[in-house]
A and B are shown apart, each in its own frame.
Chain A
Amino acid sequence: MDKVLDESTALDPVLIVQDPGQYDKLAAALSSKLKKIPAEDLAATQDILTTVSPTAHTIVYLYALLATIEASSGTGKVAPREIPPAVLPEGLLWPHILRILLEFDPIQVRYCGAQLLRLVDYVASGAEQTSNYIPAIQLLHHVILRLDSTSSTLTSTHRSFVRLCLLSQAYMEAIDILDRPIYHIPTSLVDQRTYKSLCTSSDPTWTYLNSATGLTHPLSSRSYLEYYLLGGMCYMAVKRYKDALFFLEVVITAPVVQNIASSVMVEAYKKWLLVGLLLTGVAPTIPQSASQSAMKHIRAVAKPYECIADAFKSGHAEKLRAEIEAGDNIWQDECNYGLIVEVFQAFRKFSVLRLGSTFVALSVAEVAKRTSPEPTNLDETRSYLQNLIASGEIKAEISDPDGNKDQILRFHPGLASSKSEMEVEANLAAQTRQLQSLLGHVQDAEHRMEVTKEYIEYLKKLKKVKDEEKKNSGPGNGRTATADDIDEDMMEEY
């Protein structure tokens, strides 16, 4: 055991700078050696967990801890698929889990990713089992960011994390992660061209955050869709509908094979329709990138929601109310009742807003007549308008020239003038930065996936030359090649 510790000591940050290759070899050797040691032996040396620093000896610590957990679950009487009590918060081993997950070395952990992931899974499943989510959420949040401070690579941990957040209604924590855009999705194949050694920290995150290092489970299309659906729901919970719409749109435009749609997509489509109504007051148009056949299936299933959108568009409050009441059970069963209520409230808001584009000023009585569900109740309408004004939804004021009669709602002109020059400039600057980082990612993706324009042109030329040769050598029939064919070929190759 001491020998192992010695080897582990050799893995210090200085070595990475001096000789990354050597570090790489040492760490890999250490990991494989630990793997060979029987779990009982490792579990026997429990004092490691208390004496050794998890930062300096991450690999050793992880292996030892897992062995210990396994040993404890072996002895206790637990049902299969249940998490051993020692691993739960307030369990015997919890302090150690806490230490390693908080203080692991982000480099060393790349050599024992599968082990870290198992620990993460224990924490996540334990949280669900005990409904004690908060410690797990904090730990996962920390782990995600410690592995990758930009959180730009999607991992299975992301999905578990968002799921936990949603279960415990810890939306703010979720959004902290969700706000960092995903630019990479790990593939099961490791890109050999950029692969130097795992420890070189300057590498982009996707070189080590993949299933080959074990730092993430292999992602299925379902977990990818779920991450975005659940993320969209988090945004909806805090009423950030614009972001929610984006997340849901990712789901409904997800690539599908012919004639297939996922139930996750159906859920997303329903919510997407409603969120679109909430955000803009009109049903969103289906993005072009969505698969036609999939949308056909999805829309067939989501018919009641389209009826709502139609009723909303028609502008009749009564029709909308009737539609909503008709589908009462559906909303309840599918957990969209809250959204539907919001949509109904938004309908009134949008009708008032629409008045603002036709009128400069009109009496409250008129507003009530046109928008209120009970046109005779002026007081209710007035307080509703006051609420809207107070919350900044409409820019207007209610003037009260002579007593209680003839109150006038006066809209303030100009939506655009609300921003000062300074604000606009700051916004533009922020957008410039955003664009620059985005362009970086675009270039990176193009390069990585071999889809730069120049390269495709080159491939086309190559293909043409080949075709010519074929034609010259005999009666060739390979003239139907198009750019698309090449595209697909490349993907397969990759």
Chain B
Amino acid sequence: MATSAPSPEQPSYGIVVHEPPKFDLASYIANYKGRTVFRRLHLIASCSVPLQEDAARLAVVEAKKGSDVRNYNEAIALLKKAAKGQNVDKFLDPVWAAQQEKKNAAETSRLEGELKGYKNNLIKESIRMGNEDLGNHYYTIGDLNNAVKAYSRMRDYCTTATHIASTAFRIIAVAIEQKNWLAVQSQVHKIRNLQMKPDDMTKNQPKTFAAMGLQQMSTGEYYDAAISFLNTDASLGDSYSDVVTSNDIAVYGGLCALASMSRSDLQIKVLENANFRNYLELEPHIRRAINFFCASKYSQCLDILESHRPDYLLDIYLQPLVADIYKRIRTKSIVQYFVPFSKVTLASMEKMFGNPSTTQGGVRSPSARQKFLDEIMVLIEERKLDARIDMDHGVLEAVQHNPRAEAQKAALDIVDGFVREARMKLLRLQALNAGLEVKVPLSKKKVPWEADHVESLYDDALASGPVGPGGRDILTGNSQGSARKIG
């Protein structure tokens, strides 16, 4: 039953977090409900070393509450791994698993039978509800593909905007678990375009924006994601806790904003945003990080983020993005730091941005210095940093631009390019006009481009042109070479 190998559907995370996170597992997980609880526990149990056993135990309990047998088996596998040979038999309940499986199958056939009955009666509302029940059932037992199918069928029988919205939300929930961001996007757009009553609209708004933000963040559109999260109404509360909590919105929104926005934007759109302030109060360290960034105290900002890295690595949506988001924030910090200067010593920059873990007792190892230098070089090569390194004096110099000379050069280059282009076009026109398309030689019609084509072309020229018979022919040598290669 409980196989040690993970099922192929399950993602392998490939990340191991050794540091303990700052949150308390029990209270953290209590914020969520629905299937996401198990998924989060599963992730923590797989990735975090200190929390491995606790999380696995919680996962078993959680799985047993539900009716997803596969989840249960995975949890058992995790627990066995975490227990490291200790006796875990008291958690095992093979009878439950077998029974639950039977129960699930029975329930499936019952619901399908009911749905068939509704379909015979041709009552739209009943069919819709039948499909909904079936979808919910599939969702709870973890058969996500069939759940999506049932929900999609349900769409056709929706009669009111509210129904359509609820269908869409159900599909979104499934799609988010499947990490099918394209489906999330399309469903969110569907909900947005619905004509609904104003109070329904306001009820749906935070959820749609949260889902939208999640989708944009996961596809790497950090700026759009930040805007979506910032616009998520504070009334979200715990109404969407089967996907994200308000705390998550604060973290996601704050990180996306840090990764994508300029300092003034951060100030205006994030810190002075009355709505988003409600979220930031839940996660004060994010607000502090943004404050530090706006106040140009980049190292403090980065330190805060760095200290929370384990937390974010254990977040189900943030985990794959942490490295990228952190890198962007760091890059932006370096660029922003350099803006007011024309010259900065590399040593002071390193003090600001050098990785504290690699500098021990104030003595910087040469490898750390080299690493930092490489980072700066990459930034310059990617043209994110408009500067040059002076290794002699150990300073980073901003490039002095000469706009007049650059404009002149650009003008000259443009004209050159135009003349070139125009001459090329004219020649082509002339060649077409003179009927000089490259054609298959008439003597060998329908011969596709191949080796003897070369020879025949050459023969052609021999017959018509004044090619000397005894002369050295550069082209013959060449074309034979190429012919040999084709053959």
Contact = CB atoms under 8 A, between A and B. Distances in A.
A182 B381 CA distance: 41
Chain B binding site: helix, strand, loop or mixed by DSSP? helix
A229 B479 CA distance: 13
A213 B422 CA distance: 29
Contacts of B390: 359-361
A455 interface: no
Interface in B396-443: 397, 399-400, 402, 405-406, 408-409, 411-412, 415-416, 418-420, 422-440
A363 B392 CA distance: 7
A467 interface: no
A95 to B, nearest CB: 22
A297 B433 CA distance: 25
Interface string A18-45: 0000000000000000000000000000
B69 to A, nearest CB: 50
A366 B391 CA distance: 9
A317 interface: no
A359 B457 CA distance: 53
B457 A262 contact: yes
Contact of A246 (B420, B448, B470): B420
A259 B450 CA distance: 11
Interface in B32-73: none
A360 B466 contact: no
A416 B400 CA distance: 11
Interface string B463-487: 0111111111011011101111110
A82 B471 CA distance: 11
A335 B460 CA distance: 23
A445 B429 contact: yes
B428 A253 contact: yes
Contacts of B482: 263, 266-267, 301, 334
Interface in A386-425: 408, 410-411, 413-417, 419, 424
A294 B438 CA distance: 10
A483 to B, nearest CB: 16
Q: Which of A182, A219, A255 has the most CB of B within 10 A?
A: A255
A186 B486 CA distance: 34
Contacts of A220: 436, 460-461, 464-465
B392 A226 contact: no
Nearest to A408: B392
A221 B402 contact: no
A222 B422 contact: no
A434 interface: yes
B449 interface: yes
A78 interface: no
A254 B429 contact: no
A224 interface: yes
Contact of B469 (A82, A354, A361, A434): A82
A494 B433 CA distance: 8
Interface in B129-172: none
A326 interface: no
A27 to B, nearest CB: 26
Contacts of A186: 434
Contact of B438 (A82, A262, A362, A434): A262
B158 to A, nearest CB: 43
Given A129-B471, A263-B453, A301-B486, A419 B439 contact: no
B471 A222 contact: no
A266 B479 CA distance: 9
Interface string A318-340: 00000000000010011100000
B274 interface: no
B380 A358 contact: yes
A185 interface: yes
Given A410-B392, A416-B409, A219 B471 contact: no
B328 interface: no
Interface stretch (A120-128, A277-285, A372-380): A120-128
Given A263-B483, A416-B409, A417-B405, A219 B436 contact: yes
B438 A265 contact: yes
Interface string A171-207: 0000000000111111110000000000000000000
Q: Which of A354, A411, A416, A445 has the largest number of chain B CB atoms within 10 A? A: A416
B389 interface: yes
A71 interface: no
Interface in A134-162: 156, 159-160
Contacts of B429: 445, 449, 451
B461 A223 contact: yes
Given A359-B388, A445-B429, A167 B472 contact: yes
B271 interface: no
Interface string A422-459: 00100110010011001001100100010100000000
A14 interface: no
Contacts of B483: 263
A: contact size bracket: 35 or more
Contacts of A226: 475
A491 B392 contact: no
Contacts of B436: 185, 219-221, 224, 254-255
A334 B485 CA distance: 10
A435 B422 CA distance: 10
Interface in A205-255: 217, 219-226, 229-230, 233, 246, 249-250, 253-255
A473 interface: no
Name which of B428, B431, B433, B468 has the most chain A CB atoms within 10 A of its CB: B468
Nearest to B440: A260
Nearest to A415: B409
A410 B390 CA distance: 8
Contacts of B466: 121, 124-125, 156, 160, 217
B102 to A, nearest CB: 59
Contacts of B381: 354, 357-358
A183 B399 contact: no
A287 B420 CA distance: 12
Nearest to B427: A250
A453 B337 CA distance: 54
A77 interface: no
A416 B408 contact: yes
Give the residue among B416, B436, B482, B485 with the most A Cβ atoms within 10 A: B436
B392 A361 contact: yes
B465 A413 contact: no
B388 to A, nearest CB: 4
B449 A261 contact: yes
Contacts of B439: 221, 256-257, 260
A419 B408 contact: yes
B377 interface: yes
Contacts of A230: 474
Interface string B207-242: 000000000000000000000000000000000000
B435 A187 contact: yes
A200 B470 CA distance: 41
B393 interface: yes
Given A125-B466, A333-B484, A182 B474 contact: no
Interface of B: 377, 380-381, 388-393, 397, 399-400, 402, 405-406, 408-409, 411-412, 415-416, 418-420, 422-440, 448-449, 453-454, 457, 460-461, 464-472, 474-475, 477-479, 481-486
The 5 closest A-B pairs by CB, nearest first: A128-B468, A128-B471, A416-B405, A362-B391, A121-B466
15 contacts: A81-B469, A128-B470, A128-B472, A156-B466, A185-B431, A187-B434, A249-B424, A255-B437, A256-B437, A289-B425, A333-B477, A358-B380, A361-B393, A438-B419, A442-B422
Given A335-B481, A354-B381, A360-B397, 14 more contacts: A217-B465, A220-B464, A221-B437, A246-B423, A263-B478, A263-B483, A266-B482, A287-B424, A289-B424, A330-B481, A357-B380, A416-B408, A419-B405, A441-B426
